[in-house]
Amino acid sequence: DGGITQSPKYLFRKEGQNVTLSCEQNLNHDAMYWYRQDPGQGLRLIYYSQIVNDFQKGDIAEGYSVSREKKESFPLTVTSAQKNPTAFYLCASTRGRARPSTEAFFGQGTRLTVV
């Protein structure tokens, strides 16, 4: 079945460490997104990519980095510069690159905890 796979499901990071969250999709979607979810704040966009080798900052990109070397993959690195990284991270993809907007498909999320 087609879908989005995020790994790991749970991740623990020591302060000062960089960690990378994996996101892979086999939907042949062009666009991919990373959202951060905190209680009571909904989803906030970190980065998005409309095409391979290109990506743009979202609303809360500071302390994060991404790459898009393959259409299927959009890993997110949480760097030590991110002051409050404990959150639930969701990866999503959409079929098109421009409007009209289509629905987003989401992975199951990665819960990152700083210890």
Partner 1 sequence: AQSVTQPDIHITVSEGASLELRCNYSYGATPYLFWYVQSPGQGLQLLLKYFSGDTLVQGIKGFEAEFKRSQSSFNLRKPSVHWSDAAEYFCAVGGSFNKFYFGSGTKLNVKP
Q: Which residues bind partner 1 (CB under 8 A)?
A: 4, 6, 31, 33, 35, 40-45, 48, 50, 56, 58, 88, 90, 92, 94, 96-109, 111
Cα(71)–Cα(108) distance, rounded to whole angstroms?
19
Nearer to partner 1, 17 or 97 (CB): 97
Give the dihedral of Cα atoms 89, 71, 51, 57; nearest 10 deg.
20
CB of 97 to partner 1, least distance (A): 7
Nearer to partner 1, 81 or 97 (CB): 97
Contact 70, 49 (CB under 8 A): no
